[in-house]
Structure 1
Amino acid sequence: MDNSHHSTSTSPRELDLQDIACALWGGRKIVASLVLGGTLVAAAYAFLSTPIYRTSVSVLPPTAHGVAQYNIVAQLTGEGIASITARKEIKGIPPLTPQDAYRVFLRHLSSDTLRQDFFTNTYLPAQGQNISENQQERLWLKLQDQLTITLPRREGDSAQLFLEGVDPQTISNWANDYTKAAIAAARSELMADLNAAVEVRRQSNERQISALRRVAEKSRTDRIQRVTEALAIADAVGAQPVPPTGNLLIDYKDETLYLRGSNALRAELEQLNERKTDDPYIPELGDMLRADALLSGISLPSEQLAVATVDRIATPPVNPSYPRKGFAIAIGAIVGLILSVLIIVLQGSMRRDRRNED
């Protein structure tokens, strides 16, 4: 019985809250020292490290008014031509919706091409001269962290561009310029596609006009040949015009063309040779020329096409985004407190173990 009681009384006892509280009170100097030390280290880091600023640009889709001029041009290539010609089934350029234009803008905004162009022409020259390839690679990776683009998740939402750096004015200018470059690239692509589509239709129409004129010229040449031969026959046989009969019109075919008489044939031949243009004798040419005039007159300044609406431009930030001084100091004090508690609890546990061993 005595041995059992002795074993129970000397068994190790776990630390309870009262023991921990007593230990902390006894080590209050350690707690104060580590909390103060952590706070001072964090404060030194917060106030001595280079502040990093962050700015942003918010961009929304364009309005319907922003793509209206584009769609007017698109309409002219279809319904516009049909309204001034007899050709009613003309397929024009497809219209452009605000979301279509916005998608092109977002593709350029998030493209590596634009980012590489910004890095080469703007970001890299600002870092100084004589930069080695290894340094360029590190700067490129740094830019990937500093430049962040958030694409909209739903239709109609805004896209966000974030840029970090040490100079507030510089990063705000860069963010705005980057957005303008994306807008210009998207606008240039859409305008190039539009102009190419108009040019294809214009050249196709011009080729049709040229073909009609070549056919008319060949027809006139053939007619001259036929009239010349008929005139030779009429002169040879002394043919005179057939006296008028009850018919109002007499249609002389190629074989009987000489029956029109030498005078009529000679007059027609003279007119055919003196004719400067065959355009009045081409029935389809009028529609073609009207379409050509319409297509040739199409002009849309790129500034009249909107691919995005800048909802908020980047402005120079006043407060740095990193480090946040108050947050850093608080973290330093908390870390100091946690370390001091762990040290005091560990010391108390070690002393208790030694007493148990004794």
Structure 2
Amino acid sequence: MASTPTTTQEANEIDLIELVAALWAQKLLIISLALAVVLAAAMYAFFSKPVYEARVYLQSPTLNGIADFNYGRTSGAELTPFTIKDVYEVFTRNLQSESLRRTFFNEVYLPSLPASERGGSQDVLYANFLRTLTIGLPSKEQPDRYSVIVQGENPAQVADWVKAFAARAGVAAKKEMISNATREAEVRARNLDQQISTLQETESRIRQDSITRLREALAIAEAIGLQNPPIISGNLSVELSAGMDGQLTYMRGSRALKAEIKNLEARKSDDPFIGQLRALQIKQSFYTDLQVNPDTVSVYRQDGPIEQPDRPIKPQKGLIMLLGLILGGVLGLIIALVRYFVGSGKDRF
């Protein structure tokens, strides 16, 4: 005879009540397992070495901080001034560079390890270092703010490492910026030197050409016996005097021509006769001597102080014990259910 739905429902209710009763009967087992796991979790939480975290936030420099980078860099000087973005991009590139990480790993991280650990695999040690020191990238809310984060067991050490890493990135960026500025100034000074040399060579050739023309005029004056310029009165004298160049240069007379040739040949320097020379030399001297003092410039700005952490971020004792309690209770229920079904001869839950 088929069972009715009412009979099936009553059987299910009886099985559930029986199951609850069986679990209640094994409450000491469940509680014991839960307490054992909680105790193990507590021992792990209290005996694990604490991990501290220090971080520093870094932002772009101010206009005042980059002012000395732009000393002598004007549109008139043909050198484009650096912007805050230009300088900060150099810093952030150095901050995230692999070379800076490797240098810090070799010079700071490795010496801090015990001698027994230092001899291990360098790849493994470097992977551990990358987990110890991380670079926080900008967010949408603050698109120009980076951060340096260091985790470790020594609170004073992590604070020092954060400060040292940011400072090293700043020093590297300053060197690169100063090198860029100095290099451009050197190129500008070299261009000016080339212009000066060209003007000096041109003036020297002009002087030699003048001597050649004067010698030819002297030969004509001596050929006709003209020692002094002719004396002519009236307006014709003015016109003739003004036109004593070119083919009429011999009209100056042999005495004047000899004196002028002697003076040109004895000239030690043509510099005083070059109109633009002094202005170019002043510019060249400025760019040759241009130096940027690293103490007067900055490539980043620290947002807030670097404080030594006084509370570890790991282990989180309360959370670990709570998870231990939950895990212990679940484990106790599973074992109690297995014992119940095995004891009652049932094959399924």
**Quick one: which of 163, 180, 190 aligns to 2:177?**
190
**Structure 1 length as normaliser, TM-score?**
0.84
1:207 is matched with 194
Question: How far 1:105 sits from its partner (Å)?
Answer: 1.4
Question: How far 1:178 sits from its partner (Å)?
Answer: 0.4
Instruction: Summarize deviations over 1:134-160 as a string: whole Å, max 9, x none.
Output: 521110011111111111134654211
Question: How far 1:352 sits from its partner (Å)?
Answer: 4.0
Q: Distance in 2 between matches of 1:56 and 1:15?
A: 61
Instruction: Summarize deviations over 1:217-272 as a string: whole Å, max 9, x none.
Output: 12212322332343344334322323235242333344443331111112212221
Q: Is the 8 A contact 2:30 2:333 kept in 1?
A: yes
Unpaired runs of 5+ residues, structure 2, are none
Question: How far 1:95 sits from its partner (Å)?
Answer: 2.6
Q: Is the 8 A contact 2:189 2:285 kept in 1?
A: no
1:346 correspondence with 2:334: no
1:158 correspondence with 2:157: no
1:318 is matched with 310
**Structure 2 length as normaliser, TM-score?**
0.86
Unpaired runs of 5+ residues, structure 1, are 82-91
Alignment of 1:1-358 (within 5 A): 1=1, 13=12, 18-75=17-74, 78-79=75-76, 81=77, 92-129=78-115, 135-154=121-140, 156-240=143-227, 241-245=229-233, 246=235, 247-248=237-238, 249-354=241-346
Instruction: Give the percent of matched residue pairs that are identical in Structure 1 and Structure 2.
Output: 31
Q: Which amino acid aligns with 1:65?
A: N
Q: Is the 8 A contact 2:110 2:118 kept in 1?
A: no
Q: Which amino acid aligns with 1:199?
A: E
Task: Identify if the C-alpha distance between structure 1 residues 354 and 290 changes in structure 2 by more than 3 Å, giving closer, same or farther.
Answer: closer
Q: Which amino acid aligns with 1:176?
A: K
SS at match of 1:243: coil
Q: Which amino acid aligns with 1:107?
A: R
Q: Distance in 2 between matches of 1:326 and 1:275?
A: 94
Q: Distance in 1 between matches of 2:285 and 2:58?
A: 39
Q: Distance in 1 between matches of 2:177 and 2:248?
A: 61
Q: Is the 8 A contact 2:52 2:313 kept in 1?
A: yes
Q: Distance in 1 between matches of 2:15 and 2:230?
A: 139
Instruction: Summarize deviations over 1:158-187 as a string: whole Å, max 9, x none.
Output: 211111122211121111110011111112
Residue range with higher mean Cα deviation, 92-101 or 36-45: 92-101
SS at match of 1:73: coil
- Number of equivalences: 340
